[in-house]
Structure 1
Amino acid sequence: MPAPPPAPPPNPWRTAVVAGMASYLDAGAIVSTATALVLYRPHLVLDDASIGRISALLTFCFAVGALAGGRLGDRFGRRRVLTVTLLLYLLGTLLLAGAQDPAMLYAGAIVVGLSIGADLPVSLALIAEEAPPQHKGRMIALSGLLWAVGIITATLLATVATQFGQTGARLLYGHLVLVAAIVLTLRTTLRESAEWTAAREQKGVTADGPAEEIRLGALRQLCTRPLLATLLATGLYYALWNLGANTNGQFGDFLWVKLTDHTVQSLTTLKAAAIPFAVAALLIFMRVADRPARRRWFLAGTLLALTGYALPVLAGPTPFTLAALLLLTAIGSPAPSEGLNLLVEFAENPTRDNLVQWLRAMVHDPARLTDELIEERWASATEPATLEASRRIYGRQAMAAIMAAQSHDDRPIWAALHKVTAPTLLTWGRDDRVTPLENALLPLRTIPKAELHVLPDCGHWAMIEQKEAWESAVLAFLTRPEAD
């Protein structure tokens, strides 16, 4: 009997959309709850304290779910966790849509918060693991776009729902029930993460084997330099950013009605007007997410969002300052390999200026690029044989062929890294702009006997820029007695 044909390779963009819909459902839950609680208020006899408690409980459960979700995804697999969390989300939104008393609202908020909180880190992990290396940034940024689409859809629905009181609130949650059911159906067609599967194979665990044997990485690695500083800075940033975002998202309608004496309908109209700005900002950021310019865009977006949050504090909560907050955060919030691109540019157009631009991306300290070094590299790089080889390997046509092959490969090359059984030393420049430091984490946690040596104040040319330190680390590794 002939073997069945191999399954077609997954489309990473499809995976990014189906998994990334967690962001849509998360944003939809936050925005819908902000409006729905105000609409439920006279019918379910909700006072100000009850609205605050339910909204706060939803946010708290998001955090608890996110804390547990990553670990669950590592133990039981991305696909399995994404299925269970979405089933729970369906249950929670059904409770919220059919609420007959405050107790059902509390229960629904708990279930929705825990489920979507656990879903988000697992969905982002699946997107990052399945995305081709050259598209990771934009595919993860796509989840931000889906977040915005969730806000947009919930906002547009709210402009209509606010006219129907508690029925409008039920329609808002009913929309989330429908979307969650569709996404759940689509998620059953996703394959398991190739990286997670490779980690299981590395440990010799079968598909139904003991999940507790799987360890995709040691947490202690996050508590060592320089990763600890990055972890703390990222955590602090998102803690502060989400404090503002969730306050605006969950209490925005309540504050607007209470502090400006305007109606919910007027706020939803204002939100709808801000939609084109948010979408435009997200689309722009997706284009730069895999380029070094993302840092400048991120900084600009953060400053805009900070300005928006500062206006009501400095000038008071007026219709103007709250409207400015909405607009500026809509534009700024989306802004949450350079060296290779410059090398491609030089291969296509081998000018001296393009060479210098590429060389600057290779080092941390531009002072190392002396005139003598530039002349030496220029003479070497412009030899006919060298130019031909550069175009063949790094030209746009060659890079396009590589990306096409990667996107159609059912099992990426890095999924076989666990088969490297020899002791392996990874050396990395902390300030590498060609292959940034975070790229070291995959081989570090996948190669069984890998160890990482990070060189400070160092770019891609570690063996040149930190010659003595690099040679010392390599010699120590090569001359170390092997353990019995």
Structure 2
Amino acid sequence: MASATSSPAHAEQPPIPKHLWKVAALSGMASYLDAALIVSIAVNLAIYRDSYHMGVWMAGAISAIVTGCIAVGSLVGGRLADMFGRRRVYNWDIFCFALGAVVITLAPNDIVLFTGVLVAGLAAGADLPTSLAVVSDAAPADGRARLVSFTQVMWVAGIVVVIFLGYLLSDTGMTGARCITGHLAVAALVTWQLRARLELADEPSDAEVAQEAAALEAPRGTALKNVWNRAALLPMAATFLYYVTWGIGANTFGQFGTYLLVTVSGASQSLATGINLAFLPIALVLTFVFVRLADTPWRDRLFYVFTLVQILAFCIASLTAGALAGMLVFFVLYQISNPFAGEASYKVWSQLTLPPDTRGTTQGLTYALSRGVFAGVAFVTPALMEYSASLLLWSITLCMAASAVAGVYIVRVLIRRTPQAAPAPADLGVAGA
């Protein structure tokens, strides 16, 4: 596709066929279920703690388990998709997620709950790099960023739906918790059926695959040796550094935002859930704006502005040490900036800069390593929050500043090297309407 830095600002973006938006939506369910699983554990954490008699370290452990399983699933799933076909993994990992969600929903004790989290987390992780590669493969060169970034709309929607359900069911205990996770099982089963019915075209020709690989100066083939070369390692390292530093803050507030508002800011469970819910529509609307701008120069221009706004948001939260007034300002600024300087940027940059034949493997690696770090941070977060909320918040602020530096490097160096036009190869092409 045309590089965002070289496309004219006034250029009219060509329309994207409706059937490709369907592919983006069904692939985006990986992001929906990933976010919804993490946030559902966060929303239900206090309920699980009381019902299963968990201590502070056990509360951290369950959050670490879901994140760690997503990390392992990303690593294995992305590689399996490149080796055995993205369509096959794409169809079955969502079914495995549904099984895990059923186990979580019906769990009578913490051991069964952990088992369900293990299965659902592994499946969710496997689906993330696979689904993004599927979208990238199916997309036309001049619409790839829009289709890939649409999966982020689904990610935000997953958060909105779970927090809305958590708010409505905040006084219903385990019954509400089971309803929240039960809806994940239903959504996964419906998605599995719809994915299985997608009309898929023949694979692209070898010449088309070779053309994009040559444009990125990357060797062809799915062998692991093609991951350990400069064409793959440089963008993989840069996008990993961006995602892991940004994601420490995002993951912490995704998993422990409600917990922090209750334990540090002094809000009730209903008020804490309501605060999260009130500001999320801002992020959802602005994520749609990001999708509209994803194939234009404004995508990366706005990153410069909103990464600074995001750092300011965390500075305010840190300076006020988690006080309720400061947290309200934080949530406004964070939800405004996150769509333009967050996971959507990581997804688009990864698909534009990583070699085509190993997109599943390479993005699976960055997902896996990042989520592994998030799991470790999640494990100690409740204890660190209890020791010093201010120390936790300032540490996250430094991570956000580091992500801004990595993002600027990606925009100013890697994206500028993106080929002006390249076809989208894949083992999964999508048939016309």
Distance 1:276 1:170 in 2: 24
Indicate which of 81, 86, 92 corresponds to 1:78: 86
Deviation digits for residues 342-400 of structure 1 (CA, Å, limit 9, x no counterpart): xxxxxxxxxxxxxxxxxxxxxxxxxxxxxxxxxxxxxxxxxxxxxxxxxxxxxxxxxxx
Q: Distance in 1 between matches of 2:209 and 2:281?
A: 47
Q: Given the alignment, which residue of 133, 136, 147 partners 2:141? A: 133
| Alignment-derived partner of residue 324 in structure 2 | 319
Deviation at 1:61, TM superposition (A): 1.0
> Which residue does 2:376 correspond to in 1?
none
Name the CA shift for 1:16/1:106 in 2 (closer, same or farther; >3 Å).
same
Contact 1:93–1:173 (Cα < 8 Å) also in 2: yes
In the alignment, what sits opposite 2:57?
49
- In structure 2, the partner of 1:19 is 27
CA distance in 1, matches of 2:207, 2:417: 26
Q: What is the match of residue 436 of structure 1?
A: 418
CA distance in 1, matches of 2:242, 2:173: 37
Is the partner of 1:290 in helix, strand or coil?
Answer: coil
**Residues 258, 276 of structure 2: 8 Å contact kept:** no
| 1:451-473: CA deviation from partner (whole Å, max 9, x where unpaired) | xxxxxxxxxxxxxxxxxxxxxxx
Q: CA deviation at 1:245?
A: 1.3
Q: Are 2:289 and 1:307 aligned?
A: no
Q: Is 1:33 aligned with 2:38?
A: no
* Distance change (3 Å), C-alpha of 1:184 and 1:316: same
SS in 2 for 1:11: helix
Cα distance, 1:199 vs structure 2 = 6.1
Letter in 2 for 1:285: F
Structure 2 residue aligned with 1:175: 183
TM-score (normalizing by structure 1):
0.63
Who is 2:397 aligned against? none
Question: Tell me, which stretches of 5 or more residues in structure 2 are unaligned?
Answer: 1-16, 211-219, 343-355, 358-411, 428-433
Look up the match of 1:114: 122
The DSSP-based 3-state class of the residue aligned with 1:82 is helix
Q: CA RMSD in A?
A: 3.1
2:255 is the alignment partner of 1:273: no
Structure 1 residue runs without a partner (length 5+): 1-8, 204-214, 337-413, 416-429, 447-484
| Cα distance, 1:247 vs structure 2 | 0.9
Is 1:332 aligned to 2:337, yes or no? yes
1:189 is aligned to 197
The answer to whether the Cα contact below 8 Å between 2:92 and 2:192 also exists between their aligned partners in 1 is no
1:91 positional shift: 1.3
Identity among equivalent pairs (%):
35
Q: Measured at CA, do residues 271 and 283 of structure 1 come closer, stay the same or move farther in structure 2, by a change above 3 Å?
A: same
Relative contact order, higher structure (CA 8 A, sep 6+) = 2
Deviates more, 1:155-164 or 1:74-83: 74-83
How far off its partner does 1:298 sit? 2.1
How far apart are residue 243 of structure 1 and its match?
A: 1.3
> Following TM superposition, by how much is the alpha carbon of 1:191 offset from its aligned partner in structure 2, in angstroms?
4.2
Bigger mean CA offset, 176-185 vs 255-264 = 255-264
1:154 to partner: Cα distance: 0.8
Change (3 A) 1:104 1:202: same
Q: Kindly indicate whether the alpha-carbon contact (under 8 Å) linking 1:130 and 1:193 is maintained by their aligned counterparts in 2.
A: no
With normalisation by structure 2, the TM-score equals 0.70
| Corresponding position of 1:163 | 171
**Corresponding residue of 2:267:** 262
Shift of 1:11: 1.4
Write the distance in 1 (CA, Å) between the matches of 2:139 and 2:25: 11
Residue 298 (1) aligns with residue 303 (2): yes
How far off its partner does 1:326 sit?
Answer: 2.7
Counterpart residue identity of residue 327, structure 1: V
Which residue identity does 2:148 align to in structure 1? I
Code of the residue aligned with 2:176 in structure 1: it is G
On the 8 A contact 1:57/1:109 being kept in 2, the answer is yes
Q: By how many angstroms is 1:28 displaced?
A: 0.8
Larger radius of gyration: 1
Q: Alpha-carbon deviation of 1:169?
A: 0.5
After superposing the two structures, state which structure 1 stretch, 142-151 or 246-255, moved more: 246-255
Give the structure 2 partner of residue 350 of structure 1: none
Distance in 1 separating the partners of 2:177 and 2:207: 45
1:182-228: CA deviation from partner (whole Å, max 9, x where unpaired): 11110111245755x6569999xxxxxxxxxxx74455555444653
Could you tell me whether the CA contact under 8 Å between 1:17 and 1:142 is conserved in 2? yes
Shift of 1:168: 0.8
Distance 1:76 1:432 in 2: 29
